[in-house]
Amino acid sequence: MAKKDPDMEKMSAPADFDGPTMNRRCTDVLFALILLVCWGIMTGIGIYAFRGGDYRAVLYPMDYSGNVCGTDFGAMDMTEYPKIVYVNSKGGGVCVKECPTITEEQGLVDVHTLITYGGVYQEDGSFLPADYVQMPDYSSAQGVKTCDSSKCNTAVEGSYYTQGIFQGLSYAWYAMDTFQVLGTRCIANPAARDALKEKIFIGNATFVDMEGLNEARSVWNNLYGDLWASKEYILLFGCLGAMVVGFLYSQLLRIQVLLGVMIWGSIAASIGILFACGGYAYYIAGEWAAAEEQVHSDWNIRAAKICSYVLFGLGALAVVITIFLRKQIQLSMACVKAAARSMSAMPTMVLFPFMQVIGVAAFMIVLLVYGVHLASLGDITTEPTGVTGVAVRKYEFDELTKQMGWYLLFCAFWTVSFVIAMGEIVIAMCVSRWYFSRDKSKVGMCTVFSAIGETFRYHIGTAAFGSFIIAVTKMVRAFVTYLQKKAKDMNNKVGEALLCCCQCCLWLFEKVVKFLNKNAYIQTAIFGTAFCRSAREAFTLIMRNAGRVASITYVSTLILFVGKIFISALTTGAAYVYIDRELGEEIYSTAGPCFVIFVSSFFIGEMFLSIFDMSTSTILQCFVADEEMFDGDECYAEGDLRKWIDDFEEEERRIIAGQR
C-alpha cells in the first residue's frame, strides 16, 4: 500500500479550538529586530547626508556653471539671484534676480537683445535697457562664453543660425517676456514665442522644440487653477464619495441575482469573445485565400487559420474548465457574499487602509528628505553637448554614495511591503474571527481594534519576514532594470533581450511570493503560527484545494476590476454634473478636476476593494479549515456556504466512495 503524503492530509482541529487562537506568542522576533536595525542604519545615513549635503543643490535651479541660484552653493555667491532663465534647450541657463518681462506694447520680444552665458548682449536696434534683467557678473565663471558681432549677429535674417544662438542649442537666446513657474523658473510666454517666430521668419518645422513645453506649461497652469477652484468638490467626491460608493458596492455583492449575473455573464462573454475572434480569423483567412489577386502570402493565410484554430481551442478549453469548475465557482460566489457580510459587520475595517497610507506617507517624507540630501553629495561635472560644445552640468556620485542610495531604496521597498503585510494580517484576523463566531452579533468595531492590537503585539516579526522576501525580490528587479539601462546605453541587443527575460521571470516570481505571503498571513491570523510554518500550511492547503483557489482568484479578480471601474465611473459622473452646474463658468475646463477625481476614486476604490480581496481569501481558507476540521452541525459555515456543503458535499462523498 502506498504511503500517504502527510502534506495532503486534511487539517485536524485542536482540542480547544473555538475560532482564531487567543493564546498567541510573538512570532519571527528576529526579523522584527532586523527591521528595526534597518531603520536605524537608514536614520544614520540620513543624518550623514543631512550634515554633509544641502537640499538646495537638488531642489533649486543650477546655472550652466554649476552655481545654485538663490544660494552660495558653488563658486559664485548667487544669494541675490534666486531665479533662472534658460538660454538653451539642454537646460543651460543663468541666474537672475527677477524674471524678465516685456510688455505687449513693446512687442513681447527684442530680437536685438540677447541673454548669454556672459551677460546681456545688445546690438543696434535694441529698445530694452541693458539692465532690464539683473544678472551676476559671469565674466570669470567656468565655461563662460560671450557674444560679439561675428558670433551673435542679431540681424533678423539668419540670426537663429548664428554660432551663439544655433537653434536654441548654444549659449545665447533672445530677450523675451517670461513668467514664473515653480517659484524659481522663468519660462518664455507662449505669445512671445509666436511673436519671435514672426520676427525672425522661422516656421514651426525648424523652430527649436520648446514650444510644446510652453504649451504644456500653459495647460498645467490652467489645470492648477481649476484644481484650486474646485478643491472642495475634489475632496468631497474623490475621497468621501468614493468611500461611500465603495461601501455600497460591497453591499450590492450580497444580492445573489446581481452577483450571479456579473460572474456568469462575464464568463459567457469571455468564451464568446474567444469563439468570435476565432471565427473572424477563419473568415479573414478564407477571404485572403479566395481573393482573385493574391495580396497575402500563403504563410500569412496559414498563420490566420492556425490563429483561428488556437482561438477555437481556447474557447472550447474555457467551456470545459467552466463546466469542470462550476461547483467551485458557486463556492467562490458564496465566499464573496460572506466577505461582504463580514465587512458590513465591521465597517471600521475600511479605515485601516487610510491609516496605512498615512503611515507610508510619513515614512516616505522622511525618506525623501534623506534622499534629497544624499543626492546633493554628488560632485558637479561638465559635459559638452553637440557641435557647439556648450557645457551642461550633471552630478557624479562616488561608490559609497551610490551604495547608500541603493540601501535607501531597499528600505523603501521593505517598509512599504511591511505596512501592507500588517494590514493583511489585521484584516485576516478580523474576518476569521467573524467566520468562526457562533454569535456574529458580538463581532463589531471592538473586533477590529483588538485585531490591530494583537497584530502589533505578536506578529510584527511575521509581517517583517514576509515583506523582507518581497523587498529582496523588488531590489533584484530594480538592479536588473539598472542593468537594462546600461545595456541600452551600450546598444547591446542580446543583453537587453536576456535581461528582459530575467525581468519577466522576476515579475512572475514576485507575484507568486505575494500570493503565498497573503495566504501565509491568513494562517498566522487564524492559528498564530510563525511565517515559515504558516507558509507551508498555506501551500499545502492550496495544493489540496487548487480548483477552489483558482476559481475564487478568477471571481475576486473580476469583482475587483468591475468594482474599481464602477466606483470611479459613478463618482466621476456625479462630480462632473455637480461641478459643471456650480463652477462651469468659473473654471477653464471640468476635465482636469474630473480626471483627478477619477484617479483618486480609482485609488481609493482599489484600497477599499483590497480589503474585500483579502476578506474573500480569508473566508475561503476559513471555510476549507472548517470543512476539514468539522462535520455536520459542528461546522461554522452559514448561509450560502452552508447550502453549498449541503448541496455538494454528499455528492462528492458518493463519488469518492464509488472510486474506492
pLDDT at 1 over 50: no
pLDDT at 651 over 70: no
Where is the domain boundary, 212, 229, 246? 229
Residue 224 belongs to domain spanning:
83-229
pLDDT at 603 over 50: yes
Q: Is 16 domain-assigned?
A: no
With bands split at pLDDT 50, 70 and 90, how would you rate the model's confidence at 87?
A: confident
- pLDDT at position 193 is 78
pLDDT at 660 over 50: no
**Same structural domain for residues 284 and 301?**
yes
> How many domains does the chain fold into?
2
In this predicted model, what pLDDT tens digit does every residue of 384-394 receive, in sequence order?
Answer: 655 455 555 66
Which of 50-54, 219-223, 652-656 has maximum average pLDDT?
A: 50-54
With bands split at pLDDT 50, 70 and 90, how would you rate the model's confidence at 321?
A: confident
Where is the domain boundary, 187, 206, 229? 229
Mean pLDDT of 447-468: 93
Percent of all residues in the chain with a pLDDT value above 70, rounded to a whole number: 82
Percent of all residues in the chain with a pLDDT value above 90, rounded to a whole number: 17
Where is the domain boundary, 229, 256, 288? 229
Q: Is 5 domain-assigned?
A: no
With bands split at pLDDT 50, 70 and 90, how would you rate the model's confidence at 9?
A: low
Pairing of strands 83-86, 185-188: parallel
With bands split at pLDDT 50, 70 and 90, how would you rate the model's confidence at 214?
A: very low
Which is more confident, 446 or 332?
Answer: 446
**Residue 606: all three cell numbers together:** 482599489
- pLDDT at position 340 is 80
Based on its alpha-carbon atoms, the radius of gyration of the chain, rounded to whole angstroms, reads 33
Q: CA neighbours within 13 Å on the CB side: how many for 507?
A: 7
**Same structural domain for residues 582 and 467?**
yes
Which of 22-36, 268-282, 354-368, 577-591 has maximum average pLDDT?
A: 22-36
Q: Is 313 domain-assigned?
A: yes
Average pLDDT taken over every residue of the chain: 79
Mean pLDDT of 317-336: 80
Q: Is 457 domain-assigned?
A: yes
Which is more confident, 11 or 480?
Answer: 480
Residue 621 CB contacts under 8 Å (≥ 6 apart), including other chains: 432, 519, 522, 523, 526, 538, 541
Which is more confident, 260 or 618?
Answer: 618
Between CA 601 and CA 614 the distance in angstroms is 20
Q: What is the DSSP letter of 68?
A: B
- pLDDT at position 212 is 42
**Same structural domain for residues 213 and 360?**
no
Q: State the pTM of this model.
A: 0.74
**Same structural domain for residues 225 and 241?**
no
**Same structural domain for residues 218 and 287?**
no
With bands split at pLDDT 50, 70 and 90, how would you rate the model's confidence at 211?
A: very low
Q: What is the DSSP letter of 76?
A: S
- pLDDT at position 565 is 81
**Same structural domain for residues 613 and 478?**
yes
Which is more confident, 359 or 165?
Answer: 359
Q: Is 138 domain-assigned?
A: yes
Q: 479566395: which residue's cell?
A: 290
Pairing of strands 185-188, 93-96: unpaired
In this predicted model, what pLDDT tens digit does every residue of 246-256 receive, in sequence order?
Answer: 777 777 766 76
> For residues 19 and 437, is the Cβ–Cβ distance under 8 A?
yes
In this predicted model, what pLDDT tens digit does every residue of 272-305 receive, in sequence order?
Answer: 888 988 888 888 888 888 777 766 677 777 888 8
Using DSSP, state whether 62 is helix, strand or coil.
strand
In this predicted model, what pLDDT tens digit does every residue of 494-533 receive, in sequence order?
Answer: 888 898 899 999 999 999 999 999 999 999 998 889 999 9
**Same structural domain for residues 348 and 481?**
yes
b or e along 479-490 (b: 16 or more beta carbons within 10 Å of the residue's beta carbon)? ebeebbeebeee
With bands split at pLDDT 50, 70 and 90, how would you rate the model's confidence at 237?
A: confident
**Residue 289: all three cell numbers together:** 485565400
Q: Is 46 domain-assigned?
A: no
Q: What is the DSSP letter of 13?
A: -
pLDDT at 61 over 90: no
pLDDT at 620 over 60: yes
Between CA 261 and CA 86 the distance in angstroms is 60
**Same structural domain for residues 134 and 215?**
yes
**Same structural domain for residues 143 and 36?**
no
**Same structural domain for residues 433 and 489?**
yes
- Lowest mean pLDDT of 71-75, 342-346, 608-612, name the range: 71-75
Q: What is the DSSP letter of 134?
A: -
pLDDT at 203 over 50: no
**Same structural domain for residues 356 and 475?**
yes
Between CA 83 and CA 61 the distance in angstroms is 7
Q: Is 66 domain-assigned?
A: no
Mean pLDDT of 327-339: 78
pLDDT at 209 over 60: no
Mean pLDDT of 548-568: 78
Mean pLDDT of 590-611: 81
> For residues 452 and 433, is the Cβ–Cβ distance under 8 A?
no
Mean pLDDT of 348-370: 85
Helix residue ranges, H only, 436-459: 445-458
**Same structural domain for residues 255 and 205?**
no
With bands split at pLDDT 50, 70 and 90, how would you rate the model's confidence at 639?
A: low
Mean pLDDT of 364-379: 85
Q: Is 564 domain-assigned?
A: yes
- pLDDT at position 127 is 82
